Structure 1
């Protein structure tokens, strides 16, 4: 393919951002429709951003075909990257990331209130009117659908609460993007993290030189991997509609430890592709610590050794591992900051003094704007949460814990290729367990339930998408400032389109008929948790602090050994992520990826590893 003209080299052209905005809208509407009506595979539930990959695959094929008819109309590599970055950011909004959580959690205390659960007396009086719809009949129709005699959707009851929540969400996304701007150079240039989730779009957007298709799309190995997964997925879909069609089963499990512990064998081909890109020591540590934690849990179960604590439904089912994991991820973030102290010092120096010798020309925001954005965003979020009812001191603690989790998970995604990842606990559970329910009061606990919208079931969020996006755009163009606005535009577009679609479908067909998790189990979970705390308020859990300390010390030991001895096989990230429930599901996939890569490198060297790489990227694309 001929090189584009100089006029089209700039990646942030009007057409690129316009196409990215249209695709963001499609993702907002399409994934919500899929969630509520089609009930197909989740397309925007985790960091893999399946909707973005699918749409981008179509776009790249169409773009290559366009070259045959109108070469000047073809999008260049940089423009394609911009569009993809906007799409992966948008995938963090419509379902798990925000919209499908927001509306049901706001309304659940009213729709699900009964004389038996006491929500009318114990929760409703403490909810701030500016955060919830003020029409009970409108809430009922949101869950059950409009009656036959009513055709108008009551949009007006949602305007005030959605505007209030938009302030919090935009501040949150601003902080996340600005934090990644501040840390980008440290992770990408200094530590050289692998960013496995960014490898597929980088290959898809590589320049094609004299050919119409680039090397990736000409690779037979890629199409072999693609065909394998596409074929198996097609069989699975056909089997769903016609059980006579055979299906390749990818999940098996056995009961161990006197049938009290479940050992799952799940092979995920896309995840196999991601983990093939991960360093061997990281992959080994992930499956090792996952099995190790399973053995420990089995031992504790058999001998009836347990710690009883209510931390809610999110995070590790074992309070012991919830606290160990929080201590580990805290140290992971703290030592990441310590490792990057020189760079972060330069960021602050540039932000405060404008030192000309420190170059931030490659960043999507100047360091001054990034630090200012973080501070302004934190002030807005802190003020918003305080107005919602959380005491100031607890707001600071909660925000600190939550952003430690966000940064830690983003680091894990960037280094360990975890397309599916959650933390061992969440910010609200950490705050309540560590300082007691009475430190928040009834109003604070009720407000804490509403933070589940954006800080509980965090299987996808903007920070991780922004981190991968900055890796994709690395060295694409020196003048990168428009990318920040493109990301924010993607956030706002997807938020508006997904909420609009969710309200439409809910009032037309009944939200509770669309998705039982988001409109029932997930919506009720935070309030069930808070009610249990109001009935039996726990004090500070000092045993939890001990387990957090143990987790921190183990993490420090692993990092010390790794920095002193090259032969030490365990990577600290494995300890931080190994005990979570998702690793219980995918440990065998990590093991296979590690074993295949180890064999390739040990017996055939880098050549076979590189030659096989397109096959594993094809597994992701398929």
Structure 2
């Protein structure tokens, strides 16, 4: 650990807060309004990395003319962490989902869908926006949020949900404070995602990286590719340099036609990121993706394809993720016991021990206080006490597991879609037993657990690891994180409402804004057709959990075991894996060849090239993205999802 440095300075906080607002607006415009690139769906946010790159360039110029005025590495990384936290709440997997849902049911209710009879009576006035006159401008555009009528209608529900969101993220921060030492200092997890920000900001200018020939080669390669692809989007005469095809259409006869859609795409930035994750994980991801396709073929052979839901990939993913959660708890059990002992120790022999005890005690108090607020919020919204407790225990468990995976292995995405606590509860208890009030509140909580790709908890723990690496005080960084979250929440809410009333969610947004339809159609289905416990889905959750635990046990017993349970959980999780599995294979093959023939020294020497692949595509991809947003036209999206 380095000597403590003043990374969290006043100017770093001010710059971070100022930059959060345009970044949130950028995220909303790109993901919701234009739908070109989902900036926050990946582990290393596109917009934040681009902003950091610009800051490093400006800082290098400042250092030439005013060395004392240039930002230090710790300050640049503080800004980076703040932007990650601020951007995480604005994206498609968090507040965008919430804001689009608050008035959705009341705008789209019709006599035919019977939503008003089914669940309107379960929605408190403070929980949602019910005024159809105010919602008209929101959905049709050509209006403004800056009217007294619109502000008054949105003020109460947004105030409650803003508090809810901030407290939820604070509660997760407390969990990170409790586990930080175990995962960063005791187990020494590798944190692959933070490697690029650390290299970009070294010496405050990234001069070591930018002067490396292999980095410049990788950077130039993806710069040219992305530049040509962007030009091809507007001028088809320019060559398209993308490597992409679809091989599922080749298999037209049974049983192989069951393979379905199977794109083969090479994303250079994913090849670059995957190069830094362990070889067994990159192998496991593409192996289990093919294994999932094989399950479809076998189901067709034996005639099981007609069974609803088979082969239950979402349930397998749920079980796999729950297994990973149990594994993480088991590996951290000694530290958690130490945390409790230290928190209850009010007198310590030495000052460091006393400080550690105080930190753990405050984190535990913060966690249980935050959890209590969240439960009370949901109970006030109509949810049963024990259902609320169970929901948040499951949510914290899944969030913590995602954070562990990011810290240990650093995959480019951890989507975990459609397998959240709401789905688990309905599967285990049945919609009939849960009842209308619980189901309605679960629907409004859909923004917290539909997909965990952009959620803030992994960025918090990565921020603490950055603090350890460059000598930033963790306490000060934790405060900076919560400032960033607060600014980010209100910036995101403003950006969403401003864009919606100007453009119109229904008439003008071209991104994926169908998440509210997912949640409320699902709610209507639960209410129309109340169900009991789904034994088949529970069985496949159990299969996924058992398979995950068995693989980890084999890894403990045999060092040569090549399959990782995280690869199994990721390979059936959500939609994004279909786009990126082949890039995993390409990167795995390159890394395997380098390690086999050049050993670790060759791997270390090659890393700047793969940093260059990432930075080049991020830089030019974001340039195209900003160009389209600024001048109001659709442009090249360098990552589909």
Calculate the TM-score normalised by the size of structure 1. Answer: 0.92
Residues 83-92 or 347-356, more deviating: 347-356
Kept in 2, the 8 Å contact 1:287–1:588? The answer is yes
Residue 56 of structure 2 corresponds to which residue in structure 1?
60
Q: Distance in 2 between matches of 1:14 and 1:201?
A: 21
Q: Distance in 2 between matches of 1:528 and 1:552?
A: 29
- Indicate whether 1:199 and 2:192 are aligned: no
Closer/same/farther in 2, CA of residues 241 and 361 from structure 1, 3 Å limit: farther
Residue 260 of structure 1 corresponds to which residue in structure 2?
258
Q: Deviations over 1:155-187 (max 9, x none)?
A: 111110011112211111011111112112222
- Indicate whether 1:294 and 2:293 are aligned: yes
Residue 482 of structure 2 corresponds to which residue in structure 1?
488
Residue 394 of structure 2 corresponds to which residue in structure 1?
401
Q: Distance in 1 between matches of 2:312 and 2:489?
A: 37
Q: Distance in 2 between matches of 1:213 and 1:175?
A: 34
Residue 429 of structure 2 corresponds to which residue in structure 1?
435
Q: Distance in 2 between matches of 1:485 and 1:360?
A: 22
- Indicate whether 1:334 and 2:329 are aligned: no
- Indicate whether 1:345 and 2:343 are aligned: no
- Indicate whether 1:236 and 2:229 are aligned: yes
- Indicate whether 1:160 and 2:156 are aligned: yes
Kept in 2, the 8 Å contact 1:173–1:463? The answer is yes
Aligned partner of 1:121 among 117, 122, 127: 117
1:91 counterpart SS class: helix
Kept in 1, the 8 Å contact 2:225–2:242? The answer is no
Kept in 1, the 8 Å contact 2:218–2:612? The answer is yes
Superposed, which structure 2 residues align to 1:214-613 within 5 Å? 214-255=207-248, 256=251, 257-261=255-259, 262-306=261-305, 320-354=312-346, 356=348, 359=352, 366-423=359-416, 425-477=419-471, 479-519=473-513, 521-580=514-573, 581-613=575-607
Kept in 1, the 8 Å contact 2:342–2:356? The answer is no
Residue 88 of structure 1 corresponds to which residue in structure 2?
84
Closer/same/farther in 2, CA of residues 478 and 147 from structure 1, 3 Å limit: closer
Q: Distance in 2 between matches of 1:469 and 1:360?
A: 23
Residues 33-42 or 183-192, more deviating: 33-42
Kept in 2, the 8 Å contact 1:96–1:458? The answer is no
Shift of 1:490: 1.0
List alignment gaps of at least 5 residues for structure 2: 617-641
Q: Deviations over 1:534-574 (max 9, x none)?
A: 11111012222222222222222212211112222222222
Q: Distance in 1 between matches of 2:10 and 2:355?
A: 20
1:540 counterpart SS class: coil
Q: How many residues align?
A: 604
Kept in 2, the 8 Å contact 1:331–1:556? The answer is yes
Shift of 1:266: 1.8
Residue 43 of structure 2 corresponds to which residue in structure 1?
47
Closer/same/farther in 2, CA of residues 619 and 361 from structure 1, 3 Å limit: farther
Superposed, which structure 2 residues align to 1:170-189 within 5 Å? 170-189=166-185
Shift of 1:479: 3.2
1:154 counterpart SS class: helix
Kept in 1, the 8 Å contact 2:90–2:488? The answer is yes
Kept in 2, the 8 Å contact 1:349–1:355? The answer is no
Kept in 2, the 8 Å contact 1:153–1:504? The answer is no
- Indicate whether 1:12 and 2:4 are aligned: no
Q: Distance in 2 between matches of 1:177 and 1:68?
A: 38
Kept in 2, the 8 Å contact 1:390–1:440? The answer is no
Q: Deviations over 1:241-273 (max 9, x none)?
A: 222222123332112344232332121211111
Shift of 1:37: 4.7
Closer/same/farther in 2, CA of residues 318 and 200 from structure 1, 3 Å limit: farther
Residues 362-371 or 524-533, more deviating: 362-371
Residue 620 of structure 2 corresponds to which residue in structure 1?
none
Closer/same/farther in 2, CA of residues 365 and 428 from structure 1, 3 Å limit: farther
Residues 479-488 or 58-67, more deviating: 479-488
Residue 3 of structure 1 corresponds to which residue in structure 2?
none
Shift of 1:372: 1.4
Shift of 1:582: 2.9
Shift of 1:480: 2.5
